[in-house]
Amino acid sequence: MHYRYLGNSGLKISEITYGNWLTHGSQVENEVAKQCVRAALDAGISTFDTADVYANTAAETVLGEALKSERRESLEIFTKVYWPTGPGGKNDTGLSRKHIMESINGSLRRLQTDYVDLYQAHRYDTETPLEETMQAFADIVRHGKALYIGVSEWTAEQIHEGVRLSKELGFSLISSQPQYSMLWRVIEDEVVPACEELGVSQIVWSPVAQGVLTGKYLPGQPPPAGSRATDEKGGADFVKRFLRDDVLERVQALRPVADEAGLTMAQLGVAWVLQNPNVAAALVGASRPEQVAENVKAAGVTLAPELMARIDEALGDIVMRDPSKTEELAPHRRAA
């Protein structure tokens, strides 16, 4: 495993980070989820990312159980706040002071820890003054409940303003967690340059485009049984944007590139995002322990410039680069 600094902080994290979205407490039985965490630890992964909304808090509980016997100082545990949790009451969502303060306490209880290393705003809240949100984060850091603060799917402008306020309030906003892959590069034109200027790193989710970059989805054929595209609990909704024949045909053209690099297609996808110097970590999930061991092989891989160029040539114009997609796909009102 290789480790990278997160933003301009002194915190090092594993460049392959284990995330349990859409798996723990939902798609994967708890015992299998614990086996996946064990496999991650055995592979040198020290950084674990979750969120209170995953499986409506159950994912945090499963992760807490899986990690409770580990030395806390050897781990970096990340979670998030924003989306509705609990019964969905009027204050059970968003980035108000009330919801943030109640949410951090619930997350710590479920994760069985006194603090998280990184507490992230899961989306931008257009209905709460940013000053209120950032003051709540400042107090959480001051109380020792979180060491650092991050954001997820914020625009470059929102990150600029968040960093400005964090400096005024005396805490460190050091990370951004966006979707990023060979197929989805919307952060490259605006978010990445802003973050490089501000000392903020990317922790990227979906580096294999919800499994599409593994090559298992073939043009003109139905999705494989048991794949994310057949998951009616939410997975199918996220992957469907990539399940077009023109995309799938281009993805198949990556197979000889992966072969030349000595990687599986999934490993190539993870290694590709790690070539971006502003990326501190790629988030990977797993429904089986052996998937963790395979993903970890992307750590420390350097892709030659000619291979990077061949990837661009193979994918051509099916790559999404429009930076407005970050704001377009963000919630403009809180979910009820």
Of 236 and 140, the one with more pLDDT = 140
How much is the average pLDDT of 301-325? 96
What pLDDT score does 10 carry?
97
217 vs 215: CA distance, rounded Å = 6
146 vs 78: CA distance, rounded Å = 9
How much is the average pLDDT of 271-291? 94
67: nearest Cα among 22, 18, 23: 18
Q: Predicted confidence band at 336 (pLDDT cuts at 50, 70, 90)? A: low
How much is the average pLDDT of 91-110? 97
How much is the average pLDDT of 151-177? 98
Q: In this predicted model, what pLDDT tens digit does every residue of 38-85 receive, in sequence order?
A: 999 999 999 999 999 998 899 999 999 999 999 999 999 999 999 999
- Where is 293: in which H helix or E strand? helix 289-296
- Identify the active-site residue in 3, 5, 18, 54: 54
CA distances (Å), origin 110, targets 62, 88, 89, 263, 321 = 8, 18, 20, 37, 38
* Helix (H/G/I), strand (E/B), else coil: 67: helix
What pLDDT score does 165 carry?
98
What pLDDT score does 15 carry?
97
* pLDDT over threshold 80, residue 240: no
Q: Where are the domains of the chain?
A: 3-328
Q: Classify the C-alpha dihedral 111-115-116-122 as positive or negative.
A: positive
Q: Indicate the CATH number of 3-328 among 3.20.20.100, 3.30.460.80, 3.30.365.10, 2.40.30.10.
A: 3.20.20.100
Q: Predicted confidence band at 152 (pLDDT cuts at 50, 70, 90)? A: very high
Angle at 206 between CA 194 and CA 307, to 5 degrees: 80
What pLDDT score does 6 carry?
98
What pLDDT score does 172 carry?
93
What pLDDT score does 235 carry?
60
**What is the DSSP track for 170-228?**
T--EEEE--B--SSB-TTTTTHHHHHHHHT-EEEEB-TTGGGGGGT-S-TTSPPPTTSG
Contact 175, 6 (CB under 8 A): yes
33 vs 164: CA distance, rounded Å = 39
Share of residues in the chain with pLDDT > 70 (%): 93
Q: Predicted confidence band at 236 (pLDDT cuts at 50, 70, 90)? A: low
What pLDDT score does 282 carry?
98
Strands 116-121 and 3-5: unpaired
| Amino acid at site 78 | F
* pLDDT over threshold 70, residue 93: yes
* pLDDT over threshold 70, residue 315: yes
Counted residue by residue, the chain has a size of: 336
What pLDDT score does 229 carry?
52
What pLDDT score does 231 carry?
61
Token pair for 15: 């460049």
How much is the average pLDDT of 179-203? 98
92 vs 89: CA distance, rounded Å = 5
72 vs 113: CA distance, rounded Å = 8
148 is catalytic: no
Rounded to the nearest 5 percent, the helix, strand and coil shares of the chain are 45, 15, 40
Q: Predicted confidence band at 30 (pLDDT cuts at 50, 70, 90)? A: confident
What pLDDT score does 27 carry?
53
Average pLDDT, the chain: 92
* pLDDT over threshold 80, residue 238: no
